[in-house]
Amino acid sequence: MTEVLQNRSLRMFLRSLEVLLRCVFSSATAVAIAAVAFFAVRFTALYLDHVVYIVDEDSATVTVTREQDYQKILEDEAFSVSPLDRVEYTAAAPGRFGQISIQHPFQVSLSVDGVDRDLYCMEGDTVADLLAANGVELRNADKITHPRATVLMPGDGINIIRVDSRRVENEVVIPYKTVEKHTSVIKNGSTRYLQYGAEGLKKETWEEVLEDGEVVDRYKVREDILKKPVEAHVLIGDGSPISGFDFSDQYPLDANGNPVNYISVLRNQKATGYHRSGKAWGSGYWTTKGQYGVTYCQAGTVAVVRLNEMPYGTKLYIKTPDNKFIYGYSVVNDTGEFASNGVTVDLFYDTYTESVLNGARFVDIYILEIPGR
């Protein structure tokens, strides 16, 4: 009679315990949890060796057993556990119930180093846990779609971009510049090189930023000139005046290219060319309206013998009658002993080659202005 009462009490206890466990997982009230614990301990102490409740994520089952091996307990209760599941077992003790907690993994994806992988993790795992469990090292410069402290959720996709940098050196050709000088010392439509150009060479050092092996940014960190380029200087024959002076506001030209206002003109005068290397200084200076003028030689300054007729500072306009050669507006600032060759004026050029190209020409010299007269 006593055994029958015990079995009946056992069945009633188990029904009550299951009802209370459902309350725990539905409402999680403190009263329900306390009641479960009280009933389990009391019944275990009176009737059996131990009571074990099995928690499988959001469901729970109570069993009474003499087994100590949790795997046998799960087999007896028909629970299927995979190698990926996480099982935590707290064995029962006299006066206490045991607990088996089963946690199933969920899947996330990880893309790193060109490989896409499907991985498993448990509830509460973070991105840092996932990387550590799979031997993935995250460097400071690397980019990741989720912060390391992020708690993972089913279906999350983690993407890691490897960021590297490197320095690259390149030798680059420096193109030379071509400086054109328009002139009438050579025929219209012709060209003449005063100096041929030569390319230079430089070494550039670049810092490149790579993401997963692809260059995404680059910037120059250094540039070293290995060889400087040499400019090309070329004469372009187009009838342009050689002189750099322009007095056209005071002495304009007519439609035929002749000065409108002038003191006198010396026609068919022999003109030669000369050049001095470096900074060529003249013998005198010219003054206009109290201003100190040119004291060194440049294209537009000329040397004459007849200083009594054209003293220093005299303004001239020099050209051939057919306008094929135009030296242009000029200033007397030098003299020389060249009259024995019948030369009236010696025209200064910026380069020796131009002075040679000038040769001896016969020009008209318009005297525009004489200082002090």
How far CA 215 is from CA of 112, 140, 207, 218, 343, in Å, comes to 17, 18, 10, 8, 71
Domain count, the chain: 4
Q: How confident is the model at residue 119 (pLDDT cuts 50, 70, 90)?
A: very high
Q: Are residues 247 and 356 in the same domain?
A: yes
Q: Quote the CA–CA distance of 297 and 274 in Å, as a whole number.
A: 10
Q: Facing residues of 200 across strands?
A: 174
pLDDT value of residue 97: 79
| Same domain (yes/no): 229, 249 | no
Structure tokens at 259: 């000065």
- The predicted pLDDT at position 75 comes to 74
pLDDT (0 to 100) of residue 283: 44
What number of residues does the chain have? Answer: 373
Q: How far is CA 126 from the centre of its chain?
A: 36
Mapped onto helix, strand or coil, the DSSP state of residue 30 is helix
The residue among 235, 256, 279 that closes a domain is: 235
Percentage above 70 pLDDT, the chain: 78
pLDDT of 135: 93
Residue 166: what pLDDT? 96
- Is 60 exceeded by the pLDDT of residue 293? no
Q: Tokens representing 222?
A: 């250094």
pLDDT digits (tens, 9 = 90+) for 328-370: 999 998 887 665 678 999 999 989 999 999 999 999 999 999 9
Q: Domain of 183?
A: 166-235
Q: Give the mean pLDDT of 270-291.
A: 59
Which position has the higher pLDDT, 80 or 315?
315
Model pLDDT, residue 94: 66
Rounded Cα–Cα distance for residues 98 and 44 (Å): 11
Q: What is the pLDDT of residue 114?
A: 92
249 and 352 belong to one structural domain: yes
Indicate whether 258 and 218 sit together in one domain: no
Say whether pLDDT at 289 is over 50: no
DSSP characters for 75-98? HHTT----TTSEEEEE--BTTB-E
Encode pLDDT of 152-165 as tens digits.
Answer: 999 999 999 999 99
Residue 39 predicted with pLDDT over 80: no
Last residue of a domain, one of 178, 200, 235: 235
Name the range with the highest mean pLDDT among 38-42, 165-169, 272-276: 165-169
pLDDT digits (tens, 9 = 90+) for 221-279: 999 999 999 999 999 999 999 999 999 999 999 999 999 999 999 999 999 999 876 55
CB 63 within 8 A of CB 74: no
What tokens does 362 get?
A: 């016969």
Calculated CA dihedral for residues 241, 247, 252, 258, nearest 10 degrees: -40
Same domain, 72 and 113: no
- Please give the average per-residue pLDDT across 76-87, as a whole number: 74
Question: Is residue 318's pLDDT more than 60?
Answer: yes
DSSP class of residue 176?
A: P
Same domain, 14 and 94: yes
Q: Using CA atoms of 327, 332, 338, 340 in order, give the dihedral in degrees to the nearest 10.
A: 100
Long-range contacts of 155-160 (CB under 8 A, 24+ apart): 155/106, 155/107, 155/108, 156/108, 156/109, 157/108, 157/109, 157/110, 157/111, 158/108, 158/109, 158/110, 158/111, 158/112, 158/127, 158/130, 159/111, 159/112, 160/110, 160/111, 160/112, 160/113, 160/136
Answer yes or no: do 172 and 157 share one domain.
no
Domain identity same for 204 and 323: no
Dist. CA 7–CA 102, nearest whole Å = 29
Cβ atoms of 326 and 256 within 8 Å: the answer is no
> Residue 171 belongs to a domain with what CATH number?
2.20.230.10
CATH code, 262: 2.40.40.10
Q: Which residue has the higher pLDDT, 43 or 145?
A: 145
CB-neighbour burial class of residue 160 (10 A; exposed 0-12, middle 13-18, buried 19+): buried
**Which of 4-13, 102-111, 192-201, 298-307 shows the lowest per-residue confidence on average (mean pLDDT)?**
4-13
Name residues whose C-beta falls within 8 Å of residue 271's C-beta, 6 or more positions apart in sequence.
Answer: 318, 327, 343, 344, 345, 346, 347, 358, 360, 361, 362, 363
Residue 48 has pLDDT above 60, yes or no: no
Same domain flag for 69 and 84: yes
Please give the DSSP secondary-structure letter assigned to residue 267: E
Per-chain mean pLDDT for the chain: 83
| Mean pLDDT value across residues 63-82 | 73
Of 13 and 217, the structure prediction assigns the larger pLDDT to 217
More confident residue, 90 or 292: 90
Classified as helix, coil or strand, 350 is coil
Predicted confidence (pLDDT) at residue 325 exceeds the cutoff of 60 = yes
**Domain-terminating residue out of 210, 235, 260:** 235
Per-residue confidence (pLDDT) for residue 64, from 0 to 100: 76
